[in-house]
Amino acid sequence: MNFAIQHSDLRDLYDKVVAGERLSDADALRLFESKDINAVGAIADFARQRKVGNRASYILNRYLNYSNYCILSCQFCSFARKKRDKDGFELTIEQMVQKAREALALGITELHIVGGLHPSLPFSYYVDFLKALKALDARLQLKCFTAIEILHLAWLAKKSVEQTLTELKSAGLESLTGGGAEIFRKEVRHAIARGKESAEEYLDVHRTWHRLGGRSTCTMLFGHVEKLEDRVHHLSLLRALQDETQGFTGFVPLPYQPENNDIPVRVPPTGLDQLRTIAVSRLYLDNFDHITAYWVGMGLKLAQVALSYGADDLHGTIVEEHIFHMAGAKSPQLQTEVEMVKAIREVGRIPVQRNTFYEAVKEWPAKARQTEPSEPRVDRL
Ligand code: SF4
């Protein structure tokens, strides 16, 4: 047994995890409140190892924002613009195809596409861009839209959520993104994202998608005005839906970025808070296989440490990120494959390039070969 666990007052929770017993909400709160970060991390690392073994993954992907115009004004959002704003943008389908073509040449397997709730683009725009992008390469996986975008598109199309998702699926949609979950508790949601869909609506979009045979990820935006109890409540709703559908491929905790928005948070989530949140997520979400350390929000160095605190995935190359950077993220715009493989190897794991559904595309040897640095792919950027 790990030394940190042996001498910790969290020993009973370790015993529970070893026995395969589900942690309660009170247990999760205890882990969040514990100052013994080494023990919390060691227990999560045990659970991670048992669930996914010695592999850690990343994906070659490109982010694509079709527009940042949005009819809502969530208080925490630094990305959305109104039509009168000079730095608003919207891409034509031809521009999206061009960006996708360039990224495909670099070896990406996934386009991750989200935008604001555009005031006037018709439903056909979304269907047509999915078809145009899929026509570039049938193997390209399209992970698109947050739950609130799906509700907006259903409203535009004057169809039910189920009909809307079915049409988007036929056009090439393969996975929903997990964005927009924020914090589910009503009071917190009202304080940071007034006007956005309710927790029930978010969960119902994902439930419907899962019922149609789709998979998705889910998120939690933490470290703003919420209490630790709110985080546990949020995780409990995700765990319950996963029990029901088994449709979530992974969970991505998102540390709050405090710049250029209306939420007065002077101290964004600390490094320890981010590690603890990853660890509690791994332990409490016992029905999730994958927990991502999102390097865009954490920075690659802390995301690398998180691989020893329950995370087993570093997310992707991304290439062009707007949402976190407009909120003050100091991380680079893209991450190279070489850096991610190196970060994974340094913590003693086997790097695995994955696809959208966390299936292995390529497994790297545990130690670097001499020829590796010249393998370019996304590193050419
Ligand atoms: S978070 Fe999404 S829905 Fe809210 S204002 Fe920003 S882009 Fe619009």
Number of domains, the chain: 1
Q: Tell me if 250 is assigned to some domain.
A: yes
Dist. CA 76 → ligand 1 center (Å) = 9
Dist. CA 255 → ligand 1 center (Å) = 17
User: Are the C-beta atoms of 29 and 324 separated by less than 8 Å?
Assistant: no
Q: Which domain holds residue 170?
A: 25-380
Predicted pLDDT of residue 341: 96
Per-position pLDDT tens, the chain of length 381: 788 888 899 999 999 999 999 999 999 999 999 999 999 999 999 999 999 999 999 999 999 999 999 999 999 899 999 999 999 999 999 999 999 999 999 999 999 999 999 999 999 999 999 999 999 999 999 999 999 999 999 999 999 999 999 999 999 999 999 999 999 999 999 999 999 999 999 999 999 999 999 999 999 999 999 999 999 999 999 999 999 999 999 999 999 988 878 887 878 899 999 999 999 999 999 999 999 999 999 999 999 999 999 999 999 998 878 877 787 788 777 889 999 999 999 999 999 999 999 999 999 998 887 766 545 454 433
Q: Tell me if 10 is assigned to some domain.
A: no
Tokens of 50: 């048992």
Q: Tell me if 345 is assigned to some domain.
A: yes
Rounded to whole angstroms, the Cα distance separating 316 from 295 reads 8
Predicted pLDDT of residue 7: 84
Go through 264-294 and write b for each residue having 16 or more CB atoms within 10 A of its CB, e for each that does not: ebeebbeeebbbbbbbbbbbbbbebebbbbb
Predicted pLDDT of residue 374: 47
Q: Which burial class, exposed, middle or buried, applies to 191 when counting CB atoms under 10 A from its CB (0-12, 13-18, 19+)? A: middle
Which among 68, 73, 79 is the best mutation to test ligand 1's pocket, defined by most ligand atoms within 8 Å of the CB? 79
Q: Tell me if 206 is assigned to some domain.
A: yes
Q: Tell me if 6 is assigned to some domain.
A: no
Predicted pLDDT of residue 371: 65
User: Are the C-beta atoms of 351 and 345 separated by less than 8 Å?
Assistant: yes
What is the C-alpha end-to-end distance of the chain, expressed in Å?
A: 44
Alpha helices by DSSP H, listed for the chain, are 3-6, 11-18, 25-33, 37-52, 93-105, 123-136, 147-157, 161-171, 186-192, 199-211, 228-245, 271-284, 295-298, 300-306, 337-346
Q: State the amino acid at position 108 in one-letter form.
A: I
Q: Tell me if 192 is assigned to some domain.
A: yes
Q: State the amino acid at position 328 in one-letter form.
A: G
Per-state percent for the chain, helix, strand, coil, to nearest 5: 45, 15, 40
Within 8 A by CB and 6+ apart from 380, the residues are 106
Dist. CA 77 → ligand 1 center (Å) = 6
Predicted pLDDT of residue 50: 98
CATH code of the domain covering residue 96 = 3.20.20.70
Predicted pLDDT of residue 52: 97
Rounded to whole angstroms, the Cα distance separating 4 from 14 reads 11
3-state SS, residue 265: coil
Predicted pLDDT of residue 379: 44
**What is this structure's pTM?**
0.95
Within 8 A by CB and 6+ apart from 81, the residues are 68, 69, 70, 87, 88, 89, 116
Q: Tell me if 66 is assigned to some domain.
A: yes
Which among 71, 82, 118, 148 is the best mutation to test ligand 1's pocket, defined by most ligand atoms within 8 Å of the CB? 148
Q: Tell me if 7 is assigned to some domain.
A: no
DSSP 8-state secondary structure symbol assigned to residue 263: -
Rounded to whole angstroms, the Cα distance separating 363 from 23 reads 33
